[in-house]
Amino acid sequence: MGLGNKPSDSSAAPEKKRYSELISARTAEAIAEELRYRGLREARPAPPGVLDASGAERRMAGGIGAKKVDVTWATEESGLLLGISIKSINFRDQRGGNFQKNLTNRRGDMLFEGVTLHRRFPYAVLGGLFFFDAGAEHDGTMRRRSTFLNAHARLKLFTGRDDPGGRDEQYEHLYIVLLEASASNASFRMFCVGDPDNEVPLDHAMEDLLKATAVRNPDFYEYENGKLRPAS
């Protein structure tokens, strides 16, 4: 991922903010590259020159205002077909010693994105990746469950949108990712929201999102052998 050294939990807020933004940026770049490999040629962000001069993330018109989206696949014919939102909580709260403090705010940010995008593009497939430092799995106490388990409980209501007429704030697929990163290495474990006991590979998430996109656009695309291709 090329994240560099992680700031300490007591570091200044701007330094921690930059690190969190770097996680989102590196993740978005990697996912968009994977989507392009799987047939979504216009997926952003992209390196300069791959799509245009900048390749930057796309600012999408929404139902209640324009919104920058971390990863997008949009075409001139259909508008937004697939969007992926990336949020993260990477540092312990100094007072509580856990990762709970900003969970409600980050959830609110993600749900706002869902509402504004689905109101404009009700057929768009939205995925969400919520990153936590790996320590969030074990920060529980005798009186309070871990941030990891709490996040599953608080997000479960907002995943599984399987109908274009469903709730705007709900995502088609949401995932919680536990990240363990250092200057030289990064590893992660991914879980479908609502199922904290079973780890899923990244391929599983990509397949979920691409299959849902094919179902929403049967006249134009079909899913086959891990890739999205024009319908025959």
Helices assigned H by DSSP within 100-230? 103-120, 147-155, 202-216
What pLDDT does 32 receive? 95
d(CA 161, CA 142): 34
Mean pLDDT of the chain: 89
CA distances from 209 to 1, 146, 172, 202, 218 (A): 22, 28, 8, 11, 14
- pLDDT: is 59 or 26 the higher one? 26
Q: What is the pLDDT of residue 55?
A: 53
- Report residue 40: phi and psi, to 5°: -95, 75
Whether residue 8 has pLDDT greater than 90: no
CB 68, CB 57: distance < 8 Å: yes
Q: Using a pLDDT cut of 90, give the percent of the chain over it.
A: 71
Strand-pairing partners, residue 66, are: none
Give the confidence band of 228 by pLDDT, cuts at 50, 70, 90.
Answer: very high
Q: Calculate what percentage of the chain has a pLDDT beyond 70.
A: 91
Summarised one tens digit per residue, pLDDT across range 33-85 is: 999 999 999 999 987 777 765 555 555 555 555 557 899 999 988 899 999 99
Predicted confidence at residue 66, as pLDDT, reads 55
Whole-number pLDDT of residue 183: 63
172-183 pLDDT, tens per residue? 999 999 998 766
Q: What's residue 173's pLDDT? A: 98
What confidence score (pLDDT) does residue 69 get? 87
- Greater confidence, 79 or 184? 79
Average pLDDT over every residue of 218-232: 93
Q: With 0-12 CB in 10 A as exposed, 13-18 as middle and 19+ as buried, what is 34? A: middle
Q: What is the pTM of this model?
A: 0.91
Mean pLDDT of 137-147: 91
pLDDT score at 103: 93
